[in-house]
Amino acid sequence: MPIDYDTLKNWPLAPIEQTYDERDTILYALGVGLGTDPVDTDQLPFVYERPSLQALPTMAAVLGGAGSWLAEPGTGVDYTHVLHGEQGIEWHQPLPAAAAIVAKTRVTEILDKGPGKPAMIYTTREIADRDSGAALATLTSTTVARGAGGFGGPTTAQPAPHALPERAPDVVCELPTAPQAALVYRLSGDRNPLHADPAVARAAGFDAPILHGLCTLGVAGHAVLRTCCDYDPARLRSLALRFSAPVFPGERIRTEIWRDGEVVSFRARVVARDVTVLDNGRAAVTG
């Protein structure tokens, strides 16, 4: 059954309530690689509760997700052909180290790239404090449904990606990932066996389990926070990027950064394989 534009555009996504505590916040930070150096006191506030714990900004990506809703009957999407293409996060204030939140996700647009080509599904998730209603973050996501085009939907051009400067990067931040990184990160919510089970990974065409794309995003977000914000979460206002290739746990990720005032451009590479894993990155910082 092909995509029905009106049905998918108005797909009923119930609000998600989630409560997280300091343990969850620490576990997320450990999953994206903070705390690798046990004497790095700049990273300590994100993995140790004394005197006060701070939430890593990119933890917003694992809060209040709508789950695998595109796998539900009636969406017209073959979930085995779905890829996460782009992700954006805008922070309205620093995330609390512990909170009860409510998240509301909606489909904002579906672009038809033509028969045999992808459908581009755009969603927005708004995260707010459950009790006060205060806005915490807004997330935008692009899902690529391969082969789902040709359903008669809008054919307008996909928004152009952020163009990286043509000069050499102003600064480079290289961070390790642990061999067990995917096994730790999955405890923050994404239990897809592709990231844990070698047999599942081989069936999908990989030599070994791969790192979650949003974990790679967390590593790049850490690089921007470290390099451009002096580890102050309040200075990181937004971040957006395209996923371009998988990372294998244990690989080092080099984030190349260009700074133009409050606009930070970046991409992330695994130099050992000469591959760009995140591209067209743009962040907004203050101070």
∠ CA 51-63-74, rounded to 5°: 175
Over residues 162-184, the pLDDT tens digits come to: 999 999 999 999 999 999 999 99
Q: According to the model, what pLDDT value does residue 47 have?
A: 98
* Residue 161 CB neighbours (<10 A): 14
Q: Report the C-alpha gap between 91 and 284 in whole angstroms.
A: 10
Of the chain, the end-to-end C-alpha distance in Å amounts to 51
How buried is 194 (Cβ within 10 angstroms: 0-12 exposed, 13-18 middle, 19+ buried)? middle
By C-alpha distance, which of 247, 275, 279 is closest to 266?
279
Q: According to the model, what pLDDT value does residue 169 have?
A: 98
Same fold, 5-145 and 171-285: yes
Token pair 């043509």 is found at 166
When pLDDT is cut at 50, 70 and 90, the band that residue 1 belongs to is confident
Q: Report the C-alpha gap between 235 and 244 in whole angstroms.
A: 27
Q: According to the model, what pLDDT value does residue 287 have?
A: 84
Q: Which of 24, 190, 218, 253 is catalytic?
A: 190
Q: According to the model, what pLDDT value does residue 135 have?
A: 98
Over residues 124-158, the pLDDT tens digits come to: 999 999 999 999 999 999 999 999 999 999 999 88
Active site residue 257: no
Q: Report the C-alpha gap between 22 and 30 in whole angstroms.
A: 12
Q: According to the model, what pLDDT value does residue 225 have?
A: 98
Over residues 223-256, the pLDDT tens digits come to: 999 999 999 999 999 999 999 999 999 999 999 9
Q: Which of 76, 195, 222, 279 is catalytic?
A: 195
Active site residue 197: no
Q: Which of 213, 218, 221, 281 is catalytic?
A: 213
> For the domain 5-145, what is the CATH superfamily, name and number?
Hotdog Thioesterase (3.10.129.10)
Q: Report the C-alpha gap between 213 and 32 in whole angstroms.
A: 11
Active site residue 81: no
Q: Which fold is adopted by the domain 171-285?
A: Thiol Ester Dehydrase; Chain A (3.10.129)
By C-alpha distance, which of 219, 221, 281, 205 is closest to 249?
219
Residue boundaries of the structural domains of the chain: 5-145, 171-285
pTM value? 0.97
Q: According to the model, what pLDDT value does residue 143 have?
A: 97
Q: Is the pLDDT of residue 262 over 90?
A: yes
Q: Are 131 and 19 in contact (CB under 8 A)?
A: no
Active site residue 190: yes
* Residue 125 CB neighbours (<10 A): 22
Q: Is the pLDDT of residue 42 over 90?
A: yes
Q: Is the pLDDT of residue 283 over 90?
A: yes
Q: Which of 89, 121, 210, 253 is catalytic?
A: 210
Over residues 59-81, the pLDDT tens digits come to: 999 999 999 999 999 999 999 99
When pLDDT is cut at 50, 70 and 90, the band that residue 259 belongs to is very high
Q: According to the model, what pLDDT value does residue 141 have?
A: 98
Contacts of 157 (CB under 8 A, 6+ apart): none
Q: How far is CA 165 from CA 168, 169, 193, 202, 266, in A?
A: 8, 8, 37, 37, 9
H-helix or E-strand spanning residue 184: helix 181-185
Q: Over pLDDT 90: what percentage of the chain?
A: 97
Relative orientation angle of helices 213-228 and 22-31, to the nearest 10 degrees: 90
Q: According to the model, what pLDDT value does residue 38 have?
A: 87
Q: Over pLDDT 70: what percentage of the chain?
A: 100
Two structure tokens written together for 264: 């930070």
Q: Report the C-alpha gap between 259 and 246 in whole angstroms.
A: 26
